[in-house]
Structure 1
Amino acid sequence: MVKWEYGLLVRRRQAEGQAWGLYYYWYGPDGSRVDVTAYGDTAIAHLNRVGADGWELVSAAEDVNNLQGTTEVFRYHLKRPIRVS
Protein backbone atom coordinates (compact mmCIF):
# COMPACT_ATOMS: atom_id res chain seq x y z
CA MET A 1 0.00 0.00 0.00
CA VAL A 2 1.31 3.44 -0.92
CA LYS A 3 1.19 6.08 1.78
CA TRP A 4 1.33 9.75 0.92
CA GLU A 5 2.48 12.98 2.49
CA TYR A 6 1.15 16.34 1.41
CA GLY A 7 2.58 19.80 1.00
CA LEU A 8 1.22 23.17 -0.03
CA LEU A 9 2.87 25.93 -2.06
CA VAL A 10 1.16 29.31 -1.71
CA ARG A 11 1.79 32.21 -4.07
CA ARG A 12 0.59 35.50 -2.65
CA ARG A 13 0.40 38.64 -4.77
CA GLN A 14 -0.45 41.75 -2.82
CA ALA A 15 -0.52 45.47 -3.40
CA GLU A 16 2.38 47.45 -1.99
CA GLY A 17 1.56 51.05 -2.74
CA GLN A 18 1.48 51.41 -6.53
CA ALA A 19 3.34 48.12 -7.11
CA TRP A 20 2.64 44.42 -6.54
CA GLY A 21 4.75 42.14 -4.36
CA LEU A 22 5.01 38.39 -4.98
CA TYR A 23 5.66 36.01 -2.11
CA TYR A 24 5.90 32.21 -2.00
CA TYR A 25 5.44 30.04 1.08
CA TRP A 26 5.94 26.29 1.47
CA TYR A 27 3.84 24.43 4.03
CA GLY A 28 5.48 21.08 4.66
CA PRO A 29 3.95 17.81 5.82
CA ASP A 30 5.42 18.40 9.28
CA GLY A 31 3.40 21.62 9.69
CA SER A 32 6.31 23.94 8.98
CA ARG A 33 5.91 27.19 7.04
CA VAL A 34 8.92 28.47 5.10
CA ASP A 35 9.23 31.66 3.05
CA VAL A 36 10.73 30.35 -0.23
CA THR A 37 10.38 33.60 -2.18
CA ALA A 38 14.14 33.81 -2.71
CA TYR A 39 14.17 30.51 -4.64
CA GLY A 40 12.39 31.90 -7.70
CA ASP A 41 10.12 34.56 -9.07
CA THR A 42 7.59 32.31 -10.84
CA ALA A 43 5.29 29.52 -9.70
CA ILE A 44 6.84 27.26 -12.35
CA ALA A 45 10.29 27.72 -10.81
CA HIS A 46 8.93 26.66 -7.42
CA LEU A 47 6.92 23.74 -8.80
CA ASN A 48 9.97 22.47 -10.71
CA ARG A 49 12.08 22.77 -7.55
CA VAL A 50 9.72 20.66 -5.43
CA GLY A 51 9.01 18.33 -8.36
CA ALA A 52 12.71 17.49 -8.46
CA ASP A 53 12.31 16.33 -4.85
CA GLY A 54 9.49 13.93 -5.74
CA TRP A 55 6.42 16.15 -5.22
CA GLU A 56 3.53 15.84 -7.68
CA LEU A 57 0.97 18.59 -8.28
CA VAL A 58 -2.50 17.38 -7.26
CA SER A 59 -4.57 20.54 -7.65
CA ALA A 60 -4.37 24.31 -7.90
CA ALA A 61 -6.83 26.93 -6.70
CA GLU A 62 -7.09 30.71 -6.92
CA ASP A 63 -8.58 33.05 -4.32
CA VAL A 64 -8.92 36.71 -5.27
CA ASN A 65 -9.94 39.37 -2.77
CA ASN A 66 -12.44 41.19 -4.96
CA LEU A 67 -13.60 43.61 -2.28
CA GLN A 68 -10.48 45.74 -2.50
CA GLY A 69 -8.56 44.00 -5.27
CA THR A 70 -5.45 44.03 -3.10
CA THR A 71 -4.62 40.34 -2.78
CA GLU A 72 -4.43 37.22 -4.95
CA VAL A 73 -3.62 33.84 -3.51
CA PHE A 74 -2.82 30.74 -5.54
CA ARG A 75 -2.59 27.41 -3.73
CA TYR A 76 -0.74 24.46 -5.23
CA HIS A 77 -1.50 21.19 -3.42
CA LEU A 78 1.20 18.54 -3.83
CA LYS A 79 1.79 14.96 -2.72
CA ARG A 80 4.59 12.41 -2.76
CA PRO A 81 4.96 8.85 -1.51
CA ILE A 82 6.22 8.58 2.04
CA ARG A 83 9.78 7.36 2.02
CA VAL A 84 10.28 4.25 4.12
CA SER A 85 13.73 3.85 5.64
Structure 2
Amino acid sequence: MLRWEYALLVRRREASGASDWRLSYTWYSPDGSRQDVSALGDTAISHLNRAGARGWELVSTEEDVNNLEGTTEVHRYYLKRPLPERDPRA
Protein backbone atom coordinates (compact mmCIF):
# COMPACT_ATOMS: atom_id res chain seq x y z
CA MET A 1 0.00 0.00 0.00
CA LEU A 2 1.31 3.44 -0.94
CA ARG A 3 1.90 5.76 2.03
CA TRP A 4 2.45 9.51 1.95
CA GLU A 5 4.16 12.19 3.98
CA TYR A 6 3.06 15.80 3.92
CA ALA A 7 4.71 19.20 4.24
CA LEU A 8 3.66 22.81 4.11
CA LEU A 9 5.30 25.89 2.61
CA VAL A 10 3.94 29.21 3.92
CA ARG A 11 4.57 32.51 2.15
CA ARG A 12 3.90 35.57 4.32
CA ARG A 13 3.77 39.13 3.07
CA GLU A 14 3.48 41.72 5.84
CA ALA A 15 3.46 45.49 5.83
CA SER A 16 6.71 46.95 7.07
CA GLY A 17 6.23 50.68 7.23
CA ALA A 18 4.10 52.98 5.10
CA SER A 19 4.88 51.46 1.71
CA ASP A 20 7.32 48.60 2.31
CA TRP A 21 6.54 44.89 2.46
CA ARG A 22 8.43 42.06 4.16
CA LEU A 23 8.26 38.69 2.44
CA SER A 24 9.11 35.44 4.25
CA TYR A 25 8.88 31.71 3.56
CA THR A 26 8.58 28.99 6.21
CA TRP A 27 8.89 25.24 5.56
CA TYR A 28 6.96 22.88 7.87
CA SER A 29 8.46 19.39 7.66
CA PRO A 30 6.60 16.09 8.09
CA ASP A 31 8.19 15.69 11.53
CA GLY A 32 6.58 18.95 12.71
CA SER A 33 9.71 21.05 12.65
CA ARG A 34 9.76 24.39 10.87
CA GLN A 35 12.50 26.32 9.17
CA ASP A 36 12.76 29.84 7.78
CA VAL A 37 13.77 29.24 4.16
CA SER A 38 13.44 32.85 2.99
CA ALA A 39 17.12 33.10 2.11
CA LEU A 40 16.82 30.17 -0.34
CA GLY A 41 14.64 32.06 -2.83
CA ASP A 42 12.57 35.17 -3.31
CA THR A 43 9.56 33.69 -5.14
CA ALA A 44 7.08 30.93 -4.36
CA ILE A 45 7.99 29.29 -7.69
CA SER A 46 11.66 28.99 -6.70
CA HIS A 47 10.67 27.34 -3.41
CA LEU A 48 8.17 24.99 -5.09
CA ASN A 49 10.74 23.99 -7.74
CA ARG A 50 13.27 23.24 -4.99
CA ALA A 51 10.69 21.07 -3.21
CA GLY A 52 9.75 19.36 -6.48
CA ALA A 53 13.39 18.45 -7.09
CA ARG A 54 13.28 16.64 -3.73
CA GLY A 55 10.21 14.62 -4.72
CA TRP A 56 7.46 16.86 -3.31
CA GLU A 57 4.24 17.34 -5.29
CA LEU A 58 1.97 20.35 -4.83
CA VAL A 59 -1.54 19.13 -3.98
CA SER A 60 -3.38 22.21 -2.75
CA THR A 61 -3.05 25.93 -2.09
CA GLU A 62 -4.82 28.36 0.17
CA GLU A 63 -4.74 32.14 0.42
CA ASP A 64 -5.66 34.27 3.41
CA VAL A 65 -5.64 38.02 2.85
CA ASN A 66 -6.41 40.47 5.64
CA ASN A 67 -8.62 42.79 3.60
CA LEU A 68 -9.72 44.98 6.49
CA GLU A 69 -6.33 46.53 7.08
CA GLY A 70 -4.46 45.28 4.02
CA THR A 71 -1.41 44.49 6.11
CA THR A 72 -0.96 40.73 5.71
CA GLU A 73 -1.18 38.04 3.04
CA VAL A 74 -0.59 34.38 3.81
CA HIS A 75 -0.31 31.78 1.07
CA ARG A 76 -0.12 28.11 2.01
CA TYR A 77 1.22 25.43 -0.33
CA TYR A 78 0.42 21.86 0.73
CA LEU A 79 2.76 19.18 -0.61
CA LYS A 80 3.07 15.41 -0.46
CA ARG A 81 5.51 12.72 -1.50
CA PRO A 82 5.44 8.94 -1.25
CA LEU A 83 7.21 7.31 1.66
CA PRO A 84 9.66 4.54 0.82
CA GLU A 85 8.00 1.15 0.90
CA ARG A 86 8.64 -0.86 4.04
CA ASP A 87 10.21 -4.28 3.87
CA PRO A 88 7.29 -6.65 4.69
CA ARG A 89 9.74 -8.89 6.57
CA ALA A 90 10.67 -6.06 8.97
Moved over 6 A (4+): none
Cα distance between partner residues in 2 of 1:45 and 1:38: 11
Number of the residue aligned with 2:53: 52
Unmatched tracts of structure 2, length 5 or more? none
Cα distance between partner residues in 1 of 2:16 and 2:43: 18
Number of the residue aligned with 2:36: 35
Aligned CA RMSD, in angstroms, stands at: 1.0
Which of 1 and 2 has greater Rg? Answer: 2
Question: Which protein has the bigger strand share?
Answer: 1
Give 1:1-85 correspondences, 5 Å limit. 1-17=1-17, 18-84=19-85
In the alignment of these two chains, the number of paired residues is 85
Cα distance between partner residues in 2 of 1:45 and 1:6: 19
Unmatched tracts of structure 1, length 5 or more? none
* TM-score, length of structure 2 as denominator length: 0.91
Identity of aligned residues (%): 69
* TM-score, length of structure 1 as denominator length: 0.96
Q: Secondary structure at the match of 2:50?
A: helix
* Cα deviation digits, residues 18-48 of structure 1 (max 9, x gap): 2001000000000001000000000000000
